[in-house]
Structure 1
């Protein structure tokens, strides 16, 4: 695999479609493996060929990753967790 897999927050910040390398990174597979899977018709989600490049619609990528909905921004989640922890610490 090339590079590190995408983080949860990075996945939710993706544009409407991504290049094949980004999709491979999100899926945790090497880009060469991604190209091989496309050639044999076994890439795990739909791929669109645009000229000589491949694009993967982010909606299909998220579906393949098992993500049904895009939550609030990661920063909002972190703020919510800090708020909840503070509320639990304060005597009621």
Structure 2
């Protein structure tokens, strides 16, 4: 996936989508999630796995513009 595609992801994605971000196939992604070895934090909700976009970006060392604080303008110290 490109950086642009990664930044366009929703807040959480399914495990196969998260796996694609790391170049991991569906079967291997599930295997890694079950063993606790997926490259980033995986949430298990019932029988489904979800992965946060922020966690994916953090593991790939990509700055998320949505999480970067903007400096205050016009405030004197």
Shorter-normalised TM range: 0.7 to 0.9
Work out whether residues 40 and 56 of structure 2, in 8 Å CA contact, stay in contact via their aligned partners in 1.
yes
Gaps of at least 5 residues in structure 2 are: 67-77
Gaps of at least 5 residues in structure 1 are: 1-5, 72-92
SS in 2 for 1:42: coil
Q: TM-score scaled by structure 1? A: 0.66
- Deviation of 1:12 after TM superposition, in Å, equals 0.7
C-alpha RMSD of the superposition: 1.4
Structure number having the greater helix percentage: 1
- Deviation of 1:57 after TM superposition, in Å, equals 0.7
Q: TM-score scaled by structure 2? A: 0.78
Runs of 4+ residues deviating >6 angstroms: none
Cross-structure match for 2:30: 35
Higher radius of gyration, 1 or 2 = 1
Cross-structure match for 2:6: 11
Task: Verify: 1:56 aligned to 2:51, yes or no.
Answer: yes
